[in-house]
Amino acid sequence: DSKRDISSKDLDNLAKTSFPLCMHHLFKKLREDHHLRHGGRQQLGLFLKGIGLKLEDALAFWKNEFSHKIGPDKFDKEYAYNVRHNYGKEGKKTDYTPYSCVRIIMSTPGVGDHHGCPYRHFSEENLRATLGTLRLSTPAVAEVLEKVRSHHYQLACATAFEAIHGSPSEGINHPNQYFDQSQKLLQS
Ligand code: SF4
């Protein structure tokens, strides 16, 4: 495995440069609210594991965020198990894999949830505003929205990738594959 280890202090930078919109949104909400509901913790937590965040760093990262709101003891009691569980250290000891685009697109986030795929689950207005914050040009935003209107969410994501990186993408089928493609381009 040639993947480098990621430390929790790298995450802000990586979120800016290489997270797809679904993970960028969850990361931002976690930083703002110091909380995410279960669906968001799973979607983001497994993605972070997939990019190389080790268990100890993951625990420190989630604990640091959640502690702002609920305090460290409550985190240890109610949330640490779930982080260890995702790394295969509790329960059935399954080493859970990060969710694919199809799985995320098919998910059904409710009110107060931040998981899901923004291309599928955001309103057009909200998506337009969010793409603006990524500094996508107006024609690029228009192209993304056109793909969304024809329900081609992964193509919309690939279009955003290309606009952000100024380089063609291999197509997007997994958030971790988006991340790897981005890192490959940025490191080359
Ligand atoms: Fe995330 Fe996939 Fe949606 Fe892109 S298409 S935002 S990688 S779920």
pLDDT in tens, 131-159: 988 889 999 999 999 999 999 999 999 99
Pocket test for ligand 1, best of 107, 134, 152, 157 (most atoms within 8 A of CB): 157
Pocket test for ligand 1, best of 18, 21, 147, 169 (most atoms within 8 A of CB): 21
Q: What is the pTM of this model?
A: 0.95
In the predicted model, what is the mean pLDDT of residues 6-33?
Answer: 95
Residue 26 near residue 114, CB atoms below 8 Å: yes
pLDDT in tens, 29-59: 999 999 999 999 999 999 999 999 999 999 9
**Ligand 1 near 153 CB (within 6 A):** yes
Residue 30: the pLDDT is 97
Residue 184: the pLDDT is 95
d(CA 185, CA 58): 26
What spacing in Å lies between the alpha carbon of 18 and ligand 1's midpoint? Answer: 12
Residue count of the chain: 188
d(CA 83, CA 18): 23
Query: Tell me, what's the ipTM?
Result: 0.99
Confidence of residue 91 (pLDDT cuts 50, 70, 90): confident
In the predicted model, what is the mean pLDDT of residues 16-26?
Answer: 96
Residue 188: the pLDDT is 82
What spacing in Å lies between the alpha carbon of 77 and ligand 1's midpoint? Answer: 32
**Ligand 1 near 22 CB (within 6 A):** yes
